[in-house]
Structure 1
Amino acid sequence: MFDAVILHGGGSKVRTDLKIKVWKLLSETDVIFGQGAARQLDSDNFRSWEVAGNSHVDQQFIASRAQLLSRDGNPVAPGFTPGLLGGRNSSDAASQVADAKRFTNAIAAGANPCDQPTYSDVPFYQVMAAALDHLALWVKDGKPPPIAPPIDATSVVPPAVMARDANGNSLGGGIRLAAIAVPLAMNSGQNTGPGFCWLYGSHVEFDQAKLAFLYPTHASYVAAVREVMEKNFKAGYILRPEADATIAAAEHSAVRRP
């Protein structure tokens, strides 16, 4: 017997007659590849949060996975990227095998097998931590979690078309952490290429000229990060430790220092 379930990225529309709490916690990738078309209204027993700019497999996921495998005696080869099959462009077994060969050959050569640099650095885990706390209160005390807006899209027919700014980042909507609201890079839930490249999203750092245009000074960058993270904390989308850690990281960063 379950009192509640959190679904990370999967499933079609949730039945409305369920008596348990069901929460969909979605990356931008998930919205693009099906969850945008499966959106439904929040209710007494259903929530859906979408994290703008995050990829289904992100930088924190890869780092944590490597640590776990190393701990368990299964170290990850340098440069390894999980996912040998499953390419969205593979329509048959032969094509999937060809995709797998392209993927593994690129890794063996020390190259990125995907068409863009991989792995968003928008920290999905920060939102997950808050969701778990809210879920416990929802079940035990009946306190409903906050509602979050969906990520802006011009079409939700898979693959959904996200509304994007001139830098390629999500234009609006969704839970917007500092990495997307005060960006130092293009972070997207999209990528193309063989294997599971479609799950890896993309991350392209801004050059110094772009940073200078966005943030006149180091202090202005830190102030913008602080404002965004305090807003997210007050909205209930993150916890205090994650807000403080992100602000501290901005304070100690080299962004726009003289």
Structure 2
Amino acid sequence: MTSVVAMPSVTPVEGKPNFIIGGYDISDVGYTATEFFVSGTASSYAGEGALDDAEYTTRVVAMTPTDVTKFNGTTIVEWLNVSGGVDAPAVWLMAHREIVREGYAYVGVSAQAVGVQGGGDTLVGDFSLKRQNPQRYSALNHPGDTYSFDIFSQVGRLVREAPAELLGRLTPEFVVAFGESQSAMFLTTYINHIDQLARVFDGFLVHSRFGGAAPLDGASILALLENGHQLDPSPFRDDLRVPVMNVITETDIVGAILPGYYSARQPDNERLRTWEIAGTAHADAYTIKVGFIDTGSAPIEALAAGYAPSTELMGQQLKQPFNFGPQHHYVLQAAIAGLHAWVRTGTTPPSAPRLDTDDGRPPSLLVDEHGIVTGGVRTPWVEVPIARTSGGGNDDNPMSLLFGSGERFDEATRDRLYPGGKNEYIARFTESLDAAIRAGYLLRADRSEILQLAAATY
């Protein structure tokens, strides 16, 4: 059968792309980054009847193992996140250690207009490609977000059917789509309305979505909320075509800036797994600090220093430290591994209990005597705690609301919990860590680093 998704054309772009990967060179992790302009005619899926078409030229960045023998056969296609006014590879930034370690190919897609040419609603400002480097990106033309879904499909088809255009000598067996935050809301719409028709991807990782989903007509999510519009709750459709891994933090459940995921909660089924992670915020110390130096060879002392409680966020002083718990990105890496096994072998990831909430609208999270939420995916940082970390914040600053909060226990509390001192803490932490690994919520490949980090941060 002929694909309903068009095949775009590709133009390689010489030089270093404007692309945030961290405070290291991509070669430091054994990868190569190449930028391309992708052009074609995209369709809008909004409205009834005939689809509207528009020409576009956007950019993609392919990151591939320099040693092609390390390629594991799966390509990740990420819907780049534009909430900060810049095309950000949010899932790469949070989970690049697993992506690199396992040898995935990665393609980041500038799917939305604000990341290409600015002019839209963002939380920070305009850092679009055309603003940052108007000469390099002068050829880009994005007709609007109502066309973003088809643009994303077309890049996915390109990766699947003409991989040499973007991936050189690599030929993927599987192609999966990832998206975080606003991009996760666009992927939710894609899964519910486009995937059954496009049939391009073998699975989806939806990371930190809220309760609603992006509108098909391309309207700005932030602008809709500012104008008093409500986003309808958007559970995933019951008849999913391929596996969907849905990773949710505390912030996402109750909502911050956007209405919470609580309104869209649904049971797992044969093609859906939802992990709600205790002790986590939508963004955290790994997002803003640790991930930028985490090459896999950074000294453990440097990683531990990045997790030190801080009230300084992007040049602003907060009333309390933002979330400094390490668990979020480690669980996300396990979710990626779980989705990969699911897609390749049919082995389903474990189901997980939901975070405990009351019946409020929006709900409040139920917490233990330390202020740590109960239920959800449990890691040793919440089972054997030396601090309270949470998805909730007290500040009026929108960014701080997304970064949650954290507070280290005082010495008296630590001594009461662990009368045997650091040795007792590490022994109990190790037991909890091994239980989480057996359950499938953390990876054995991260075990040694996690234990070193626990010892360094006690």
The change in CA–CA distance for 1:201 and 1:235 in structure 2 (over 3 A counts) is same
The change in CA–CA distance for 1:65 and 1:81 in structure 2 (over 3 A counts) is farther
Q: Which amino acid aligns with 1:3?
A: D
Match of 1:173, SS state, is coil
Instruction: Say yes or no: does 1:224 pair with 2:444.
Output: no
Structure 1 position 222, deviation (Å): 1.0
What do residues 19-52 of structure 1 show as CA deviations (whole Å, max 9, x unaligned)?
A: 0211210111111211122111111111100110
The answer to whether the 8 A contact 1:53-1:169 is kept is: yes
The answer to whether the 8 A contact 2:245-2:272 is kept is: yes
CA distance in 1, matches of 2:404, 2:457: 25
**Alignment partner for residue 63 of structure 1, among 289, 295, 298?**
289
What do residues 135-194 of structure 1 show as CA deviations (whole Å, max 9, x unaligned)?
A: 111111111111111111123632x21111222111x21111121111111111000222
Q: Which amino acid aligns with 1:174?
A: G
**Alignment partner for residue 7 of structure 1, among 206, 228, 238?**
206
**Structure holding more strand per residue:** 2
- Equivalent residue, structure 2, for 1:209: 412
Which one has a bigger Cα radius of gyration?
2
Written as runs of structure 1 = structure 2, the 5 A alignment for 1:1-258 is 1-10=200-209, 11=213, 12-33=234-255, 34-64=260-290, 66-67=292-293, 81-82=313-314, 107=316, 111-112=317-318, 115-155=319-359, 157-158=361-362, 160-170=363-373, 172-193=374-395, 194-217=397-420, 218-250=422-454, 252-253=455-456, 255=458
CA distance in 1, matches of 2:279, 2:440: 19
Q: Which amino acid aligns with 2:392?
A: Q
Q: Normalised by the size of structure 1, how large is the TM-score?
A: 0.77
Match of 2:398, SS state, is coil
- Equivalent residue, structure 1, for 2:175: none
Match of 2:289, SS state, is helix
Structure 1 position 65, deviation (Å): 6.0
Structure 1 position 220, deviation (Å): 1.5
Q: Which amino acid aligns with 1:168?
A: G
CA distance in 1, matches of 2:286, 2:383: 19
CA distance in 2, matches of 1:182, 1:145: 24
Structure 1 position 16, deviation (Å): 1.0
Structure 1 position 67, deviation (Å): 5.0
The change in CA–CA distance for 1:169 and 1:122 in structure 2 (over 3 A counts) is farther
Higher relative contact order (CA 8 A, sep 6+): 1
CA distance in 2, matches of 1:130, 1:19: 22
Measured on the aligned residues, the alpha-carbon RMSD in Å equals 2.2
Identity %: 31
Structure 1 position 17, deviation (Å): 1.7
CA distance in 2, matches of 1:164, 1:206: 16
Q: Normalised by the size of structure 2, how large is the TM-score?
A: 0.44
The answer to whether the 8 A contact 2:313-2:400 is kept is: no
5+ unaligned residues in a row in structure 2: which ranges? Answer: 1-199, 214-233, 295-310
Q: How many residues align?
A: 215
CA distance in 2, matches of 1:7, 1:155: 25
CA distance in 1, matches of 2:240, 2:349: 18
Q: Which amino acid aligns with 1:24?
A: N
Q: Which amino acid aligns with 2:288?
A: I
